[in-house]
């Protein structure tokens, strides 16, 4: 029984096809999904998602989100999905620096939602940067 993988961001469907397996950065660590996997829903943390498609291992950097796993389908809903060539290292470093600077200047007027937003930017961009540097030739 094949495993159908869909990767969806708010902007578009990134991928939709049959794969041999998929590895996700789950909230509790990396998890591997094969066909006939038990159903589950799990939170995702920013990191690397990889899957085997037509004999090729494909890797992408993803942000936070959720994955819904069924016996023959895995649906990944994430706020970011980028291939290595889509990540601008300098722009990513700048985004991390800006968010860190803003967090340093936190005062009592900044609400918890804004702090969480900035921490999310740092986590996503850091995951993208690690992914980019790991995959640079």
The pair phi, psi for residue 105, each rounded to 5°, is: -95, 20
Predicted pLDDT at 47: 93
Q: Please tell me which residue, 128 or 13, carries the higher pLDDT value.
A: 13
| Beta bridge pairs of residue 68 | 41, 75
CB-based contact 39:71 (threshold 8 Å):
yes
CATH of domain 3-82: 2.60.15.10
For the chain, give every domain's residue range: 3-82, 87-135
Distance CA(125)–CA(117), nearest Å, equals: 12
Q: Look over the chain and give the mean of its residue pLDDT values, rounded to a whole number.
A: 90
- The pTM assigned to this predicted structure is 0.81
Q: What confidence tens digit (pLDDT) does each residue in 20-39 have?
A: 999 999 988 999 999 999 99
pLDDT band, very low/low/confident/very high, at 108 (cuts 50, 70, 90) = low
Q: Alpha-carbon torsion 20, 43, 73, 128, what sign?
A: negative
Distance CA(120)–CA(102), nearest Å, equals: 13
Predicted pLDDT at 78: 96
Q: Please tell me which residue, 83 or 33, carries the higher pLDDT value.
A: 33
82 pLDDT more than 70: yes
CB-based contact 14:81 (threshold 8 Å):
yes
């Amino acid at each position: 029984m094949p495993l159908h993988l869909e990767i969806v961001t708010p902007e578009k469907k990134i991928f939709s096809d049959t794969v041999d397996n998929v590895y996700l950065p789950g909230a509790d660590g990396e998890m591997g999904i094969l066909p006939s996997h038990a159903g589950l829903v799990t939170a995702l943390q920013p990191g690397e998602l990889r899957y085997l498609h037509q004999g090729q291992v494909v890797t992408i950097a993803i942000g936070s989100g959720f994955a819904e796993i069924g016996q023959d389908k895995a649906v990944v809903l994430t706020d970011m999905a980028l291939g290595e060539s889509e990540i601008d290292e300098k722009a990513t470093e700048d985004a991390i620096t800006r968010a860190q600077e803003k967090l340093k200047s936190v005062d009592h007027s900044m609400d918890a939602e804004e702090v969480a937003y900035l921490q999310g930017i740092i986590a996503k961009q850091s995951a993208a940067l690690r992914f980019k540097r790991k995959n640079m030739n």
